[in-house]
Amino acid sequence: MSQLLLIDWVLITALGWLSIGMVGVAFPRNFILNSRILYPLGAVGGLVLALIALTGIFASPQIRILPLGMPGLPFHLRLDALSSFFLLLLGTASAGISIYAAGYLRKGDGTAPGLQCLLYHVFLASMAFVMLADDGYAFMVAWETMALSSFFLVTSEHRHAEIRRAGYLYLLVAHVGAVGILLSFGVMAGVEGDYTFDAMRDFSSHGFWPTIAFLLALFGFGAKAGILPLHIWLPEAHPAAPSPVSAMMSGVMLKTAIYGMLRVSFDLLHAQIWWWGVLLLLLGLATALFGVVFSAIQTDMKRLLAYSSIENIGLIFLGFGLTLIFKSFMLPHLAALALTATLYHCLNHAFFKSLLFLCTGSVLHATRERNLGKLGGLIHRMPWVTWLALIGVLAASGLPPLNGFASEWLLLQSFLFTSGLPQGYLNMLLPVIAGAVALISAFAGFTMVKFFGIVFLGQPREEKLTQAHDAGRLERIGLLWLGVGCILLGLFPNVVIVLLDPVTRLLVGSGLRGTAGSHGWWLLAPISQDRASYSPAIFLGSIVIFMPLVYWAVKRFYHGRLKRVPAWDCGFPLQTARMQDTAEGFGQPIRRIFSPFFKRTREHPSPFDSQPRYLSIVEDPFWYWLYLPIAKIVERGTQLIAFLQQGRIALYLLYSFITLLSLLVLTRG
């Protein structure tokens, strides 16, 4: 090669990450080196990657073939707009998370910091390779390496049995999913059995084969993304992992599944069938609804966020399905709109969800407490984390002018402009689903208010919380990075749309740049101005002008006098912190309304209990309806087969004897 292409730079960055990990594992116990030097270096790597990807989005696709890998199938790598976009996501998010992790890392038992450093950076690098891979084998290797490294990160506190269980469940589901992906590649490789993506692109399979490939890929990537009913690992693994890792997994790793799904269904498969889209739509709807309902009733803050990730994945898949439908009905512009909304939401979710997870990390460090029922009033002790968390919360509940709203707005728009599909039912269905999306986002608002209000507001529910300390400097930098990201992404949607334009052109052959760009950076009008428009800048601007104005006016014409008094006790003399609404209490209406969703076991105290206890456990029904039965079936199978192994030598001899005779008869007859 004469000069280094962009793809080489991506490779160099990934290798840089790997080498950082190597250095770390070379000095496993050297705390200062790992936390103060290596992780920040990793963050720099993230920034570099983001810059490369930024240019890569607009560059033409580039290809490299490494002299590694399988005989006859060396590692093919390819950098196009799609992979660049997801690399951008990876780089930007990981930059914030790594710098946070540098501050977050503490001297403690569990995995040695050096080893953790290695695993973390292998995790990053493997995700980068997933985006780059251009043949089935390289993809699988990167994919499984990603799963493995994240598994070890999840189980870094492996002394606790439940964390081991979570890790086991996670790796198991990941592995099964990987099998699905492998099979899907196998189907797409077809009779030639050439596993390069190029060959798959050229290979025009017909009949039901594309559908089978699509369904297998959906299974595989759905398992990683946490689509119903394969979400089971997600709420277990996220709380188990250290917070930067949960941020990484929820913010970025889930998106690799989206990437893979996009790659398969738009790039590798040519003809999309409309009911694929409907399937995705319904799956996404179910997932989002399930996720948000369950996140509303959680009492563990990281579990709450994990379920909310499931919800967001559901929303993303909704957009995805819509894109498929439009694409299959040859409506490229609408497809571009829906796809833009989808990808935009991926980016936003990466930012606000990582932000929130990192905030829980700081809370965890300050209080050693994950249970919502034991937190509260942290705004006084840790203002930084609180206000940054507020940004994340507002974004997550899809409120203007933050980024969450922008993508959901686009999503709703793409739902609203559907009239005119050849499928009458779809025309009916889609607006109703739009209503459901509205319900989900409003519900997310409920959940987020619960999360924020109970963790940060009110009075401290425990004595120790009054000693809580705010996040350290490095942690603040990380949080700030992500928070500011949320705001900027919310304020300049057109910039993002321009970024997404090449991607949508690549996948669905159309883009929003022409229409959206025409109104200047401040006005977002994907179709046309009098049809729908939204300008977060004016929005925020007017609020920002208005508030001080009112403040000043009140001060100016009246007074700013203020007295501190005890809170009004409504005539109940002793008001303790325990009387505040607990997480269970806040979720109670939801438990009541959506009771069919849950599998709950509850104990009510009788009026005569000397020490009344109220117990209410809400569990995931899928575990009981789906997973345990499967386990039972396998168990039964083992029992049947184990019957062969009786321990009697005569019996064993009989086996070989019968085998011999039957084979002889077989050959003769």
Q: Which of residues 487-546 bind another protein (CB under 8 A)?
A: 523, 525, 529-535, 538-539, 542-543, 546
User: Is residue 628 near another protein by the rule CB under 8 A?
Assistant: no
Q: Which of 60, 427, 466, 467 binds another protein (CB under 8 A)?
A: 427
Q: Which is nearer to another protein, 59 or 183 (CB)?
A: 183
Q: Which is nearer to another protein, 36 or 464 (CB)?
A: 464
* 109 burial level (CB within 10 Å; 0-12, 13-18, 19+): exposed
Nearest distance in Å: CB 400, another protein: 4
Q: Which is nearer to another protein, 61 or 373 (CB)?
A: 373
Q: Which of 271, 554, 615, 628 binds another protein (CB under 8 A)?
A: 554
CA angle in degrees (0–180, nearest 5) for 254-260-262: 105
User: Is residue 397 near another protein by the rule CB under 8 A?
Assistant: yes
Q: Which is nearer to another protein, 115 or 507 (CB)?
A: 115
User: Is residue 424 near another protein by the rule CB under 8 A?
Assistant: yes
Q: Which is nearer to another protein, 228 or 421 (CB)?
A: 421
- Quick check: 429 and 351 in contact, CB under 8 A? no
Nearest distance in Å: CB 86, another protein: 21
Nearest distance in Å: CB 565, another protein: 5
User: Is residue 665 near another protein by the rule CB under 8 A?
Assistant: yes
- Of residues 311 through 370, those in contact with another protein by CB under 8 A are none
User: Is residue 191 near another protein by the rule CB under 8 A?
Assistant: yes
- Quick check: 212 and 274 in contact, CB under 8 A? no
- Quick check: 498 and 515 in contact, CB under 8 A? no
- Of residues 143 through 172, those in contact with another protein by CB under 8 A are 144-145, 148, 155, 158-159, 161, 164, 167-168, 171-172
Neighbours of 114 (CB within 10 A): 22
Nearest distance in Å: CB 486, another protein: 15
Nearest distance in Å: CB 642, another protein: 4
For residues 292 and 522, what is the distance between their CA atoms, to the nearest angstrom?
32
Nearest distance in Å: CB 301, another protein: 15
Residues 6+ apart with CB under 8 A from 245: 120, 123, 150, 153, 154, 156
User: Is residue 633 near another protein by the rule CB under 8 A?
Assistant: no
Q: Which is nearer to another protein, 258 or 393 (CB)?
A: 393
Nearest distance in Å: CB 66, another protein: 9
Nearest distance in Å: CB 633, another protein: 11
Q: Which is nearer to another protein, 88 or 132 (CB)?
A: 132
For residues 104 and 355, what is the distance between their CA atoms, to the nearest angstrom?
13
- Of residues 58 through 97, those in contact with another protein by CB under 8 A are 67-71
- Quick check: 240 and 167 in contact, CB under 8 A? yes
Nearest distance in Å: CB 507, another protein: 26
- Of residues 254 through 293, those in contact with another protein by CB under 8 A are none
Q: Which is nearer to another protein, 564 or 606 (CB)?
A: 564
- Of residues 555 through 594, those in contact with another protein by CB under 8 A are 557-559, 561-570, 572, 575, 577, 579-581, 585-586, 588-590, 592-593
Cross-strand partners of 371: 300
Q: Which residue has the tokens 């396998």?
A: 634
For residues 254 and 468, what is the distance between their CA atoms, to the nearest angstrom?
32
- Could you tell me if residue 193 is left (phi over 0), alpha (psi between -120 and 50 degrees) or otherwise beta? left
Reduced to 3 states (helix: H, G, I; strand: E, B; else coil), residue 371 is strand
Q: Which of 442, 488, 615, 628 binds another protein (CB under 8 A)?
A: 442
Reference 123, options 82, 80, 172, 90; nearest CA is 90
- Of residues 366 through 395, those in contact with another protein by CB under 8 A are 376-377, 379-380, 383, 386, 390, 394
Nearest distance in Å: CB 85, another protein: 25
For residues 496 and 343, what is the distance between their CA atoms, to the nearest angstrom?
10
Q: Kindly state the number of chain residues that form the binding site for another protein, as judged by CB under 8 A.
A: 146
Nearest distance in Å: CB 99, another protein: 27
Q: What are the helix (H) ranges across 297-423?
A: 301-328, 332-367, 378-381, 383-396, 403-416
Show the tokens assigned to 608: 């005569």
Q: Which of 19, 33, 267, 400 binds another protein (CB under 8 A)?
A: 400
User: Is residue 211 near another protein by the rule CB under 8 A?
Assistant: no
For residues 56 and 82, what is the distance between their CA atoms, to the nearest angstrom?
9
Nearest distance in Å: CB 262, another protein: 23
Q: Which is nearer to another protein, 85 or 120 (CB)?
A: 120
Nearest distance in Å: CB 12, another protein: 18
For residues 198 and 22, what is the distance between their CA atoms, to the nearest angstrom?
33
Q: Which of 1, 32, 330, 644 binds another protein (CB under 8 A)?
A: 644
User: Is residue 187 near another protein by the rule CB under 8 A?
Assistant: yes
Q: Which is nearer to another protein, 328 or 580 (CB)?
A: 580
- Quick check: 584 and 613 in contact, CB under 8 A? no
Q: Assess whether the previous peptide bond of 566 is cis (omega < 30° from 0).
A: no
Reference 411, options 389, 427, 430, 425; nearest CA is 430
**571 half-sphere exposure, CB direction, 13 A CA radius:** 0
User: Is residue 107 near another protein by the rule CB under 8 A?
Assistant: no
Q: Which is nearer to another protein, 29 or 36 (CB)?
A: 29
User: Is residue 663 near another protein by the rule CB under 8 A?
Assistant: yes
Reference 459, options 600, 567, 603, 384; nearest CA is 567
Question: Looking at this protein, which amino acid is placed at residue 88?
Answer: L
CA angle in degrees (0–180, nearest 5) for 545-550-551: 100
Nearest distance in Å: CB 200, another protein: 13
User: Is residue 195 near another protein by the rule CB under 8 A?
Assistant: yes
Write out the H or E segment, with its range, that includes residue 106. Answer: none
Nearest distance in Å: CB 194, another protein: 10
Q: Which is nearer to another protein, 408 or 501 (CB)?
A: 408
For residues 139 and 226, what is the distance between their CA atoms, to the nearest angstrom?
20
For residues 142 and 147, what is the distance between their CA atoms, to the nearest angstrom?
9
Cross-strand partners of 62: 79
